A = this chain, B = another copy of it.
Amino acid sequence: MIQFAPDHGEIERRVEALLFAAAGPLSAAEIGRRLPEGADVGGAISALRERYQGRGVELECVADRWRFRTAADLGFLMTEEREEPRRLSKAALETLAIIAYHQPCTRAEIESVRGVSLSRGTLDLLLEMGFVKLKGRRRTPGRPVTYATADKFLEHFSLASLYDLPGVQEMKAAGLLDLSIPVGFEVPDPSRAGDDDDAPLLEGADDAPEFAQDFVAED
Protein backbone atom coordinates (compact mmCIF):
# COMPACT_ATOMS: atom_id res chain seq x y z
CA MET A 1 0.00 0.00 0.00
CA ILE A 2 1.46 3.28 -1.04
CA GLN A 3 0.63 5.71 1.69
CA PHE A 4 3.16 8.46 1.16
CA ALA A 5 3.31 10.72 -1.81
CA PRO A 6 1.37 8.55 -4.22
CA ASP A 7 2.05 9.49 -7.80
CA HIS A 8 -0.49 10.75 -10.30
CA GLY A 9 -1.38 7.29 -11.49
CA GLU A 10 -2.09 6.11 -7.98
CA ILE A 11 -4.24 9.14 -7.19
CA GLU A 12 -6.16 8.48 -10.37
CA ARG A 13 -6.74 4.87 -9.34
CA ARG A 14 -8.04 5.95 -5.99
CA VAL A 15 -10.38 8.56 -7.40
CA GLU A 16 -11.64 5.98 -9.84
CA ALA A 17 -12.35 3.50 -7.05
CA LEU A 18 -14.02 6.11 -4.87
CA LEU A 19 -16.31 7.33 -7.63
CA PHE A 20 -17.18 3.79 -8.54
CA ALA A 21 -18.08 2.67 -5.03
CA ALA A 22 -19.83 5.85 -3.92
CA ALA A 23 -23.57 5.72 -3.49
CA GLY A 24 -23.98 9.11 -5.14
CA PRO A 25 -22.04 11.77 -7.03
CA LEU A 26 -18.98 13.11 -5.21
CA SER A 27 -17.56 16.62 -5.24
CA ALA A 28 -13.86 17.19 -5.68
CA ALA A 29 -13.67 18.24 -2.05
CA GLU A 30 -15.33 15.05 -0.88
CA ILE A 31 -12.89 13.02 -2.89
CA GLY A 32 -9.94 15.07 -1.68
CA ARG A 33 -10.88 14.40 1.93
CA ARG A 34 -10.18 10.74 1.44
CA LEU A 35 -6.87 11.27 -0.29
CA PRO A 36 -3.48 12.30 1.07
CA GLU A 37 -3.01 16.01 1.70
CA GLY A 38 -2.27 17.97 -1.44
CA ALA A 39 -3.36 15.30 -3.88
CA ASP A 40 -4.29 16.73 -7.26
CA VAL A 41 -7.94 15.72 -7.41
CA GLY A 42 -8.74 17.98 -10.33
CA GLY A 43 -5.95 16.52 -12.40
CA ALA A 44 -7.03 13.00 -11.59
CA ILE A 45 -10.61 13.74 -12.58
CA SER A 46 -9.51 15.25 -15.89
CA ALA A 47 -7.31 12.27 -16.59
CA LEU A 48 -10.13 9.87 -15.79
CA ARG A 49 -12.55 11.82 -17.88
CA GLU A 50 -10.27 11.54 -20.81
CA ARG A 51 -9.60 7.88 -20.19
CA TYR A 52 -13.29 7.05 -20.20
CA GLN A 53 -14.09 9.31 -23.15
CA GLY A 54 -15.98 7.28 -25.71
CA ARG A 55 -16.09 4.15 -23.57
CA GLY A 56 -19.23 2.35 -22.44
CA VAL A 57 -18.98 4.22 -19.17
CA GLU A 58 -18.25 7.91 -18.86
CA LEU A 59 -17.43 10.30 -16.09
CA GLU A 60 -19.94 13.05 -15.90
CA CYS A 61 -20.33 16.19 -13.86
CA VAL A 62 -23.68 17.00 -12.29
CA ALA A 63 -24.04 20.06 -10.07
CA ASP A 64 -20.33 20.20 -9.39
CA ARG A 65 -20.27 16.58 -8.44
CA TRP A 66 -18.80 13.68 -10.33
CA ARG A 67 -20.16 10.28 -11.12
CA PHE A 68 -19.76 7.44 -13.52
CA ARG A 69 -22.64 6.68 -15.78
CA THR A 70 -23.17 4.53 -18.80
CA ALA A 71 -22.72 6.29 -22.12
CA ALA A 72 -25.85 8.07 -23.22
CA ASP A 73 -26.03 6.27 -26.55
CA LEU A 74 -26.15 2.91 -24.80
CA GLY A 75 -29.23 3.75 -22.80
CA PHE A 76 -31.22 1.41 -24.98
CA LEU A 77 -29.35 -1.50 -23.42
CA MET A 78 -30.58 -0.59 -19.98
CA THR A 79 -34.24 -0.21 -20.70
CA GLU A 80 -34.85 -3.89 -20.78
CA GLU A 81 -37.94 -4.97 -18.97
CA ARG A 82 -37.71 -7.34 -16.14
CA GLU A 83 -38.86 -10.69 -17.32
CA GLU A 84 -39.34 -12.16 -13.93
CA PRO A 85 -39.10 -10.84 -10.43
CA ARG A 86 -35.76 -11.36 -8.83
CA ARG A 87 -37.09 -11.99 -5.39
CA LEU A 88 -40.25 -13.71 -4.43
CA SER A 89 -42.37 -11.57 -2.19
CA LYS A 90 -42.91 -12.75 1.33
CA ALA A 91 -46.51 -13.56 0.55
CA ALA A 92 -45.53 -15.53 -2.54
CA LEU A 93 -42.85 -17.46 -0.72
CA GLU A 94 -45.18 -18.29 2.13
CA THR A 95 -47.91 -19.36 -0.22
CA LEU A 96 -45.49 -21.49 -2.17
CA ALA A 97 -44.31 -23.12 1.05
CA ILE A 98 -47.83 -24.05 2.08
CA ILE A 99 -48.66 -25.45 -1.31
CA ALA A 100 -45.42 -27.42 -1.31
CA TYR A 101 -46.05 -29.05 2.04
CA HIS A 102 -49.80 -29.38 1.95
CA GLN A 103 -50.47 -30.10 -1.67
CA PRO A 104 -52.91 -30.49 -3.09
CA CYS A 105 -54.61 -27.69 -1.23
CA THR A 106 -57.24 -25.12 -1.91
CA ARG A 107 -57.05 -21.39 -1.71
CA ALA A 108 -59.12 -21.43 1.46
CA GLU A 109 -56.72 -23.85 3.07
CA ILE A 110 -53.77 -21.66 2.22
CA GLU A 111 -55.56 -18.73 3.73
CA SER A 112 -56.41 -20.67 6.83
CA VAL A 113 -52.73 -21.44 7.44
CA ARG A 114 -51.57 -17.94 6.64
CA GLY A 115 -54.35 -16.29 8.58
CA VAL A 116 -54.79 -13.65 5.91
CA SER A 117 -56.59 -13.70 2.65
CA LEU A 118 -54.57 -14.28 -0.43
CA SER A 119 -54.28 -11.45 -2.85
CA ARG A 120 -55.16 -12.29 -6.41
CA GLY A 121 -51.69 -11.61 -7.76
CA THR A 122 -49.89 -14.01 -5.48
CA LEU A 123 -51.26 -17.25 -6.81
CA ASP A 124 -51.28 -15.92 -10.36
CA LEU A 125 -47.61 -15.08 -10.07
CA LEU A 126 -46.73 -18.54 -8.83
CA LEU A 127 -48.80 -20.08 -11.60
CA GLU A 128 -47.23 -17.85 -14.19
CA MET A 129 -43.74 -18.68 -12.99
CA GLY A 130 -44.58 -22.32 -13.35
CA PHE A 131 -43.88 -23.12 -9.72
CA VAL A 132 -47.48 -24.04 -9.06
CA LYS A 133 -50.14 -25.68 -11.14
CA LEU A 134 -53.83 -26.33 -10.91
CA LYS A 135 -54.26 -29.83 -9.75
CA GLY A 136 -57.95 -30.60 -9.73
CA ARG A 137 -61.04 -29.91 -7.76
CA ARG A 138 -61.85 -30.88 -4.25
CA ARG A 139 -65.00 -32.92 -4.02
CA THR A 140 -66.50 -30.72 -1.40
CA PRO A 141 -69.28 -28.17 -1.80
CA GLY A 142 -68.25 -25.41 -4.09
CA ARG A 143 -65.75 -27.80 -5.66
CA PRO A 144 -62.79 -25.54 -4.99
CA VAL A 145 -59.75 -25.81 -7.23
CA THR A 146 -56.70 -27.39 -5.65
CA TYR A 147 -53.12 -26.35 -6.26
CA ALA A 148 -49.91 -28.35 -6.29
CA THR A 149 -46.30 -27.66 -7.13
CA ALA A 150 -45.20 -28.06 -10.73
CA ASP A 151 -41.98 -29.52 -12.08
CA LYS A 152 -40.31 -26.16 -12.24
CA PHE A 153 -40.57 -25.94 -8.49
CA LEU A 154 -38.54 -29.10 -8.10
CA GLU A 155 -36.08 -27.88 -10.70
CA HIS A 156 -35.57 -24.54 -9.06
CA PHE A 157 -34.95 -26.00 -5.65
CA SER A 158 -32.91 -28.87 -7.07
CA LEU A 159 -35.19 -31.47 -5.65
CA ALA A 160 -35.32 -34.87 -7.22
CA SER A 161 -38.85 -35.41 -6.01
CA LEU A 162 -41.30 -34.15 -3.46
CA TYR A 163 -39.94 -36.84 -1.21
CA ASP A 164 -36.80 -34.72 -0.95
CA LEU A 165 -38.49 -31.72 0.61
CA PRO A 166 -36.91 -31.02 3.98
CA GLY A 167 -39.00 -32.29 6.84
CA VAL A 168 -39.25 -31.65 10.54
CA GLN A 169 -35.78 -33.05 11.18
CA GLU A 170 -34.17 -30.62 8.80
CA MET A 171 -36.19 -27.73 10.12
CA LYS A 172 -34.89 -28.57 13.54
CA ALA A 173 -31.38 -28.99 12.23
CA ALA A 174 -31.57 -25.59 10.60
CA GLY A 175 -32.55 -24.10 13.92
CA LEU A 176 -35.98 -23.15 12.71
CA LEU A 177 -37.82 -25.19 15.27
CA ASP A 178 -35.52 -24.55 18.17
CA LEU A 179 -37.53 -23.23 21.00
CA SER A 180 -41.21 -23.52 20.90
CA ILE A 181 -42.37 -26.25 18.67
CA PRO A 182 -46.09 -25.75 18.62
CA VAL A 183 -47.97 -28.61 20.22
CA GLY A 184 -48.81 -31.23 17.70
CA PHE A 185 -46.61 -29.62 15.07
CA GLU A 186 -46.36 -31.89 12.11
CA VAL A 187 -45.13 -31.34 8.63
CA PRO A 188 -47.07 -33.29 6.08
CA ASP A 189 -45.13 -35.39 3.65
CA PRO A 190 -46.32 -34.20 0.26
CA SER A 191 -44.83 -37.19 -1.49
CA ARG A 192 -47.55 -39.26 0.11
CA ALA A 193 -50.35 -36.95 -0.87
CA GLY A 194 -50.96 -39.01 -3.94
CA ASP A 195 -51.54 -42.26 -2.09
CA ASP A 196 -54.85 -43.68 -3.04
CA ASP A 197 -55.77 -45.09 0.29
CA ASP A 198 -59.29 -43.84 0.07
CA ALA A 199 -60.32 -46.60 -2.25
CA PRO A 200 -64.05 -46.41 -1.54
CA LEU A 201 -64.03 -42.82 -2.60
CA LEU A 202 -62.69 -43.60 -6.01
CA GLU A 203 -66.10 -43.98 -7.62
CA GLY A 204 -66.58 -41.67 -10.50
CA ALA A 205 -62.91 -40.98 -10.62
CA ASP A 206 -62.53 -42.42 -14.06
CA ASP A 207 -63.28 -39.23 -15.85
CA ALA A 208 -61.25 -37.11 -13.50
CA PRO A 209 -58.49 -39.07 -11.82
CA GLU A 210 -57.18 -36.13 -9.83
CA PHE A 211 -60.39 -35.71 -7.98
CA ALA A 212 -59.93 -38.87 -6.06
CA GLN A 213 -56.49 -37.94 -4.91
CA ASP A 214 -57.66 -34.58 -3.84
CA PHE A 215 -60.48 -35.85 -1.82
CA VAL A 216 -60.17 -35.25 1.84
CA ALA A 217 -62.75 -36.75 4.06
CA GLU A 218 -63.94 -33.84 6.08
CA ASP A 219 -66.34 -35.57 8.39
Contact = CB atoms under 8 A, between A and B. Distances in A.
22 contacts: A1-B73, A13-B54, A13-B71, A13-B74, A14-B74, A17-B56, A17-B70, A17-B78, A18-B56, A18-B78, A20-B56, A20-B70, A22-B81, A34-B80, A120-B175, A124-B174, A124-B175, A127-B174, A134-B166, A136-B160, A143-B163, A145-B173
A159 interface: yes
A123 interface: yes
A21 interface: yes
B174 A158 contact: no
A124 B79 CA distance: 38
Given A158-B136, A164-B137, A175 B16 contact: no
A57 interface: yes
A78 to B, nearest CB: 5
A206 to B, nearest CB: 24
A15 interface: yes
A14 B135 CA distance: 41
Contacts of A159: 136
Interface in A52-110: 54-57, 68, 70-71, 73-74, 76-81, 107
Nearest to A34: B77
Interface in A1-48: 1, 12-18, 20-23, 34
Q: How many monomers of this protein are in the complex?
A: 2
A18 B176 contact: no
Interface of A: 1, 12-18, 20-23, 34, 54-57, 68, 70-71, 73-74, 76-81, 107, 120-121, 123-124, 127, 134-137, 143, 145, 158-160, 163-164, 166, 169-170, 173-176, 178
